[in-house]
Amino acid sequence: MAFGSRSRAPHAGKLNDAKQIISNLWGPSEVEKSIEEFQSVLKNDGGDLDSRWSELLDEPHSRVALIGGTLFVLQQFAGINAVLYFSSLTFKDAGITNGALASLYVGLTNLAGALGALYLVDRQGRQKLIIGSYVGMAISMFLVVYAISFPIDEELRNNLSILGTILYMLTYAIGSGPVTGLIIPELSSSRTRGKIMSFSFSVHWVCNFLVGLFFLELTEKFGVAPVYGSFGAVSAFAAIFSYYFLVETKGRSLEEIEMSLNPNFAKRD
């Protein structure tokens, strides 16, 4: 009996400590609700080391893996690396022959986007930021396509090309770039988070390699405008995908996120 009492004491003490911390942080009224959420998540979760790769085929892990892989496919085939590569030629055509100056423009644009992401990510939410980012990227690409394809004044064409390129990189840096890597682990349960992230980043690097391998060949065969137009189309599709398949994670508990991904979560024993 003495041994049994000692084995239960640490657990009870930790539970009481947890209740005290929650009460101090959020108030006494939130204690029971928060403890129930933690216990529910722990009951249905487990540790990443105990999970198997085959569990990614089960709901809701399969949905999160699908979302993560698809987001990285769309991110890469929206053309960020290709646009960065081609930006030096865009600046050169506009008369900016100084490579260091062109790199400075790109660096300042990325810095501005990163600062914008820091400010907006917890104010607007992950889903809205990704959707807005891809809409901006699509508009930017179609602006460049318009500048290249239609017979307009050369100076105006060059200025529109630079504007579209800078706007594309800015909107990417605000949402699609950083938030994609942020929202996937937030959607994942602790049990499969490591494996889902490994799968998602594997997809990322494969797509990165494919875009780098075929971009120049495609531009030589079809021209810059059709390739950039396809980047714009992928960006538009990514915005639609994010609207229908992503769930917001800002300010939500682990249980609320998992219930959004799988309505049967609360019914599991």
Q: What is the pTM of this model?
A: 0.76
Sorted by where each starts, the structural domains of the chain and their CATH numbers stand as 2-44 (no CATH), 59-261 (1.20.1250.20)
**Weakest mean pLDDT among 4-18, 97-111, 120-134, 146-160:** 4-18
Which of helix, strand or coil describes residue 136? helix
In 3D space, the residue among 68, 203, 58, 78 whose CA is nearest the CA of residue 139 turns out to be 78
CA distances from 33 to 29, 196, 225, 244, 255 (A): 8, 29, 55, 29, 11
Contact predicate 26/34, CB 8 Å: yes
> What is the token pair recorded at 174?
């605000």
> What is the token pair recorded at 62?
């399969």
> Of residues 157 and 88, which shows the higher confidence score?
157
Q: Is the pLDDT of residue 22 over 70?
A: no
Contact predicate 175/238, CB 8 Å: no
- Amino acid at position 153, single letter: D
Q: Residue 41's pLDDT is what?
A: 55
> What is the token pair recorded at 178?
């950083």
> What is the token pair recorded at 117?
């992401």
Span 103-116, average pLDDT: 87
Q: How far apart are CA 217 and CA 247, in angstroms?
A: 37
pLDDT tens string 225-264: 899 999 999 999 999 999 998 888 877 777 677 777 765 5
Span 167-182, average pLDDT: 92
- Element (DSSP H or E) covering residue 262: none
In sequence order, what E strands does 129-265 have? none
Span 186-195, average pLDDT: 80
pLDDT tens string 54-94: 666 777 778 888 999 999 999 999 999 888 887 777 777 65
Q: Residue 61's pLDDT is what?
A: 76
First to last CA, the chain: 30
In 3D space, the residue among 177, 173, 180 whose CA is nearest the CA of residue 114 turns out to be 173
> What is the token pair recorded at 235?
């960006």
b or e along 159-175 (b: 16 or more beta carbons within 10 Å of the residue's beta carbon)?
A: ebbbebbbbbbbbbbbb
In 3D space, the residue among 112, 226, 255, 246 whose CA is nearest the CA of residue 179 turns out to be 246
Q: How far apart are CA 150 and CA 167, in angstroms?
A: 20
